[in-house]
Amino acid sequence: MKQLVSMEHLSNEEIYSLIETAIEYKQGKKVHKLNDTYVANLFFENSTRTKCSFEMAERRLGMQEIPFETSTSSVKKGESLYDTCKTLESIGVDALVIRHPQNDYYKELEGLNIPVINGGDGSGQHPTQSLLDIMTIYEEYKKFKGLNVLICGDIKNSRVARSNYQALTSLGANVKFAAPDEWVDDTLDAPYVKIDDVIEETDIVMLLRVQHERHDGELNFDPHEYHEKYGLTKERYNRMKPNAIVMHPAPVNRGVEIDTELVEAPKARIFKQMKNGMFLRMSVISHIIAEQQKGVLIDVAN
């Protein structure tokens, strides 16, 4: 794996390998130290979980982070994304983590000689979020084949929905969507259902934030009405199977996608997802750097 920009580019074998390494990191079995390796995190959209967990992952791997802030960079002078990345490559950065509002931004970076890790591109892909979700599901069920997954919310504008649909379907899960008509994504082949029709047979309920920033201010949105039609209410939660789980990529709008009392309920795995994100991103980085350096993952004692 030379870089990670889309779940479409990962085989099932690579997904399992990344998860296995992440679980080993989480269990404290090994650490792959990447001393004298430099990384820059380029976030052109706001982020808490993704940015901070990448930073923590990089530090735990022993990497040196080159600070980058879009507000004080030459981007403000009109520098292109490619030239910004090529500059960082030229001064010795070994890898780039990028979040950008443009779909498929990484296609403009094919002239780079260092790996790119996609931290989210517009409404396109969010591969590390998908992988940490998959890791969380795997820890719970030890399988994917036959699991019933319901993804609820702003499907059309969600890179999480797209990435997870592609990966989980490939792994053998049954993925369904629930969304208002105006947020249906016709490019994805999953069936659309009513949440109340399937809640009792679903293994994983994955809730999505409404992507207000991608609606150009034209969204006529009633949070209470949305919660009643598409959110996880306490009544729906109580109808879920005993071993079913609740997931959300966050940030969570409490009382909109999910009742505030359910965010840390027994079936909720939302904060576990966040914890897993750091270990999963450690795994992604170490696999990519090993490939870049034509080496193998070397175990170093904690």
| Residues placed in the known binding site | 49-50, 77, 99, 126, 129, 159, 209, 250-251
Whether the CB-CB separation of 161 and 177 falls below 8 Å is answered with: yes
Catalytic residue flag (residue 99): yes
Catalytic residue flag (residue 2): no
Q: Which residues line the annotated binding site for L-aspartate?
A: 77, 159, 209
**Pairwise CA distance, residues 22 & 14, whole Å:** 12
50, 84, 136, 233: the active-site residue: 50
Catalytic residue flag (residue 50): yes
**Pairwise CA distance, residues 69 & 67, whole Å:** 7
49, 86, 214, 215: the active-site residue: 49
60, 126, 156, 281: the active-site residue: 126
Catalytic residue flag (residue 227): no
Active site residues: 49-50, 77, 99, 126
